[in-house]
Amino acid sequence: STKAGEKKSRTLSKERKAKKKMNARKKRAQTRREEGVNKLRIEPPISKPKAPNYCKFYLKNGICQEGDSCKFSHDITPLTKSQPCKFKVLQECKKSAQGCMKGDKCPFDHDLSKYPCNNYASNGFCSRGDSCLFSHK
């Protein structure tokens, strides 16, 4: 029966605290009314802008079948400008005459000299020599 008594006293204690809190709120409200403040205006907190959800298809391929109706963001330039354009890399290969057709509108980086040459990094030399568009540093 002691547990039941403890539980009852805790419940009463919670009720007393709630009543005390309510009385304090009423007293503050009364004081504010007497001072001429009807409602306390609290500015809503400034929320951080929500990070956009990027379209994984546009991010990977530079195109999306959904186009403008896609619910994900296609504004990926800040994310992708730190990645080399795979079509520009293909153009580096003599077998591919493609290259990137988007030019300046391409969201990926066309300055390949920022990126290390894989051949040079792994073997210490590159067969393309000075004509290689990647960095040998």
**CA 67 – CA 65 distance, rounded (Å):** 5
CA 98-99-100 angle, 5° bins: 125
How is residue 83 written in tokens? 């990645």
Please tell me the distance from the alpha carbon of residue 55 to that of residue 74, in angstroms, as a whole number.
6
- E strand map for 10-118: none
pLDDT-derived band of residue 110, with 50, 70 and 90 as boundaries? confident
Kindly report, residue by residue over 111-134, the tens digit of the pLDDT. 788 888 888 888 888 888 888 888
Supply the pTM of this predicted model: 0.36
44 against 66, higher pLDDT:
66
**What mean pLDDT do residues 5-17 have?**
75
CB 83 within 8 A of CB 108: yes
